[in-house]
A and B are shown apart, each in its own frame.
Chain A
Amino acid sequence: MSTTTPTRPSTEAEAPASQGSGDGRMLRLGAVGGDWLDRRVSGAGLLRFMGRKIFPDHWSFMFGEVALYSFVVLLISGTYLTMFFVPSMDEVVYNGIYAPLQGAHVSKAYESTLHISFEVKGGLLFRQMHHWSCLVFMVAIFVHMFRVFFTGAFRKPRELNWLVGFALMVLGMVAGFTGYSLPDDVLSGNGLRVVDGLMKGIPIVGTYISMLLFGGEFPGHDIIPRFFTIHILLVPAAILGLIAIHMVMLVLHKHTQYPGPGRTERNVVGFPVFPVYAAKAGGFFFLVFGIITLISATTAINAIWIYGPYDPSPVSAGSQPDWYMLWTDGGLRLIPGWEFTIFGYTVSLNILLPIVVYGGLLVFLALYPFIEQWVTGDDREHHLLDLPYNAPVRTGIGVAWLSEYLILAMAATNDLIALKLRLSINDLTWTFRIAFFLAPIIVFYVTKRLCIAMQRQKRDLALHGEETSKVVRMEDGQMLEIHEPLNEFDRWVLVQHDDYRPLKAGKGVSSLRAAATSFFFKDRVAPVAPSELREALEHAGHERHRIDELTGGDYTTPDARRH
């Protein structure tokens, strides 16, 4: 592994080692402690390697951190909950302090959740923190994933880390689903019942899987203890392990950076881990923790005493899962009642097709880096990020994927939307069904066009500079606007990116790949070439000369001059 020490900015004067005596004591203490550790675990080597590692700074790099920190909050609050939660479906008669439910037959899981909420000091706060941090965790993972997508940070050498991140997203959903199934209230029970129905729809083995999972017929007595083990042991352990791999790879690859003057494919420009990054990132953990706590102190979530204990018979109108699971419900609502019988056996397309669609969306996302690499054939390492508008087709695909996700999620709330907007559910469902097929195509096209328009505009800016809105009319009647050329630092960001071209089939290029490269790059806007800039500057120079001759270098308006 590399041992080169990064270069500190040259302009900085060496600071004196210590100023006051207090300062000196602090430094000495650090030295003694460091020496002790070094002699036992070679702390010095680790510190030399990590201590001054450089991390680039950008607001969009924050989302991964939010995910990490909210996971820590999940661990802390979840551990507190395990001290009081009873993962059992045995029935008891509720006689706690919540009057409306006294005398009701409930499971121990439900009873203990009420106990945590009403009788354990700080219990409600920790429950709400656990649930809120879960929502924040999933939002952060999602936004982080799409930051990586839209900036092309998944390109070589980071494809594997993309897959690790993808697995974390899926595990997050599993964690969330198993978590909100634990309190055994009406909502969580209905969620489980839908899972039972989905499993039964799987051909041949469906009913067996359902019986194995529930330990018999739904709901049985086993599902909550089983989910408990999955929720507090298996999934968190897997998440922790994957986070560790994610971080090790991050250090190995070093973070990507946005293009900018002085930033190249072969360097990292940013702040050293110690002290600046440690203070910022460590501080940021407390900020995230504090904000989640504040939300939990003021905003109720999952008030299971209102839903009531689970019973298979009562209805709850409008049952929606947590937001990150919504999309998995949307397809179930949009699919028509397709089911057929073959040799007397039943095949439930109304269950299988949505599952195939969900799987397809996820698999496409997971494999996207490999698909794009196959198209571009680009074998180089990429450490400078793409600005999303410089990759119009990728950006279009990403936004189209999001639109599909959003349509599914909205379809899962069609009853609420219908109620709010006073629409018929049937019309709304039909609208979503059509949108499911049309929206991604339209969204893709519009996004791509917008990116290309931005590329053109940036290209003009690089060539001709900033418009000053000062217009001069020449003697021949021609109107010329005075442009202020960009300085080379600002211009650099607009001209540094790579150019990709479609390939022709033949000579080692299959016709499929040729078509794919054409889909990706046929409408490309070529980046400014040095010769073009030279020409543009020359032209601007001539124009400027003519204007100067006419105005004598005085650009104030004739009106202003008269005063």
Chain B
Amino acid sequence: MSEHVNENPESPRSSGTVSTVAPKEGGGFPNPGLPPHVHRQADENPRAEKRAERMVAGLFLLSVLGTVVFIASYFVFTPMGTNLLGEPGTLHAVRWSNLFTGVGLAVAVFFIGAAAVHWAKTLMPDEEWVEERHHIEGSDETREVAAGIITDGLDESGIARRPVIVTAMIAALTALPIAVLAPLSTFGPLPGSKLHHTFWKKGLRITRDTDGTPIKASEVAMNSIFHVMPEGLTEDLEDYLEERAKAATVLIRIDPELGQNQDSLDNGYQGILAFSKICTHVGCPVALYEQQTHHMLCPCHQSTFDVTDGAKVIFGPAHRPLPQLPIEVDAEGYLVAGGDFPEPIGPSFWDLHKDK
């Protein structure tokens, strides 16, 4: 009888919440039991069985072939050497090597799988078995013994009778995790004022990012954009990349007539304006410049800054304008910084507006 019972094994210890399960009329339908089994070809026809056997063996042998191809091509196609088209250039050789070793390995593994699955499907028994389930929870006796172990153990430890120990233990277990903070603090320095300053200083020349040459104001054509770095920020510096990550700046010349922000124009030089290139959202380099609209676009999340209006945000997730680097011209006519950025560059943070 048990075979056809379909009800859920109701927990003998129901929690007592009101359930939405509706009782089934008359206990529901009877389960008709497993349908009759249909035999496969290979079960009834010895020829089909032989065919399936040969097929499985054949698939295994294909795998051997794949292994041979893999090993052979591993040595034939060196990444730097052989390339079937005879083209020069390393990439071609690497591609051939990758293709042949890869396909060889793929065949070697795939056909082991294909053989095993085919074997199981055609030749191993395909009749389903039935296994009974049991309640997950232990028998009443087991649960009682388990509960007994806990109460006895707690009693033997005397935890309930010794509040002093318990209090001290809680103190110890609370204090210890705080100790984690100590080693954690050596993972890095405190921010201090680092995030508030960059490499730029008054009088530093503005140089091209590509070759480090200084730029004359007269070289900056209308509507052109220069990617610039401060002079002296070179590869031999200890924290070269960290400084670059903060100092990256763009130089753009606009028609002063278009300027809508007098402060911004005053910080520039005849319409040449310098803005931090680090997005004030989460810090990607912003440098897609649209000459017609005078907008700068950040490729990461599309914050859009209006260069004619002090790099104010006109669309997207950034909030603050790109900080503007004040610029001047030195005695030789080269563009120099008039000082550091007036506020921290890049993503906003908690104490951004505190002076440091």
A residues bordering B, Cβ < 8 Å? 2, 4, 6-9, 11-12, 52-54, 91, 97-99, 105, 117-125, 128, 157, 190, 193-194, 196-198, 200-204, 206-208, 210-220, 222, 252-254, 261-272, 275-276, 279-280, 282-291, 293-294, 296-298, 311-319, 329, 332-339, 341, 344-348, 350-351, 375-383, 414-415, 425-426, 429, 488-489, 492, 495-496, 498-503, 507-509, 517, 520-521, 526, 529-531, 533
Is chain B's interface secondary structure helix, strand, loop, or mixed overall? loop
Number of A-B residue pairs having CB atoms within 8 Å of each other in the complex: 424
B281 sits at the interface (CB 8 A): yes
12 additional contacts (CB under 8 A) given A332-B317, A344-B354:
A99-B90, A123-B79, A197-B281, A217-B245, A270-B129, A276-B125, A280-B116, A290-B113, A339-B320, A348-B349, A350-B281, A377-B19
B31 and A492: CB pair below 8 A?
A: yes
Once the chains bind, are B129 and A9 in contact (CB under 8 Å)?
yes
Partner of A264, one of B6, B11, B106: B6
Q: A376 with B19: in contact, given A283-B112, A316-B299, A318-B299 (CB under 8 Å)?
A: yes
Residues of A within 8 A of B6 (CB): 264-265, 496
A345:B350 contact, CB within 8 angstroms? yes
Question: What are 9 A-B pairs with beta-carbon distances under 8 A?
Answer: A207-B349, A264-B3, A283-B114, A291-B110, A332-B301, A379-B19, A381-B11, A489-B35, A496-B28
Which residues of B approach A to under 8 Å, CB–CB? 2-11, 14-15, 17-22, 24-26, 28-29, 31-35, 37, 74, 78-80, 89-91, 94, 97-99, 101-103, 105-117, 119-121, 124-136, 184-185, 187-191, 194-195, 209, 227, 229, 235, 239, 241-242, 244-246, 248, 277-278, 281-288, 299-303, 313, 315-320, 346-354
Q: Which of A157, A335, A351, A414 contacts B136 (CB 8 A)?
A: A157
B38 to chain A minimum Cβ distance, whole angstroms, is 11
Residue of B with least CB distance to A270 = B128
The distance in angstroms between the C-alpha atoms of A409 and B242, with both chains bound, is 31
Query: With the chains together, A333 CA to B279 CA distance in Å?
Result: 13
Chain B contacts of A521 at CB under 8 A?
Answer: 20
Do B189 and A216 touch (CB < 8 A)? Answer: yes
**Complex CA distance for A467 and B124, rounded to whole angstroms:** 38
Select B32's contact among A261, A280, A348, beta carbons within 8 Å.
A261
Which residue of chain B has the shortest Cβ distance to A128 in the bound complex? B98
Report yes or no: A122 in contact with B188, Cβ–Cβ below 8 A.
Answer: no
Contacts of B15 in A (CB 8 A): 379
Say yes or no: A118 contacts B94, CB within 8 Å. yes
Task: Kindly list the 10 A-B residue pairs having the minimum CB-CB distance in the complex, ordered from nearest.
Answer: A297-B102, A290-B110, A197-B282, A283-B116, A286-B113, A262-B34, A6-B131, A339-B319, A312-B245, A380-B8
Instruction: Assess the A194–B190 pair: CB atoms within 8 A.
Output: no
A407 to chain B, nearest CB (A): 15
**In whole angstroms, what is the CA distance A338 to B280 when docked?**
12
- CB distance B319 to A337 under 8 Å? yes
Q: A348 contacts B133, CB within 8 Å?
A: no
A336 CA / B117 CA spacing, docked (Å): 53
Is A267 touching B117 in the complex (CB atoms < 8 A)? Answer: no
Residues in A whose Cβ lies below 8 Å from that of B108: 290
Is B29 in contact with A492, judged by CB distance below 8 angstroms? yes
- Please tell me if the beta carbons of A283 and B131 are within 8 angstroms of each other in the complex: no
A213 to B187, CA, bound (A): 7
B-side contacts of A268, CB under 8 Å: 130-131, 133
| In-complex Cβ contact of B133 among A8, A254, A318 (8 A) | A254
Closest residue of A by beta carbon distance from B118? A283
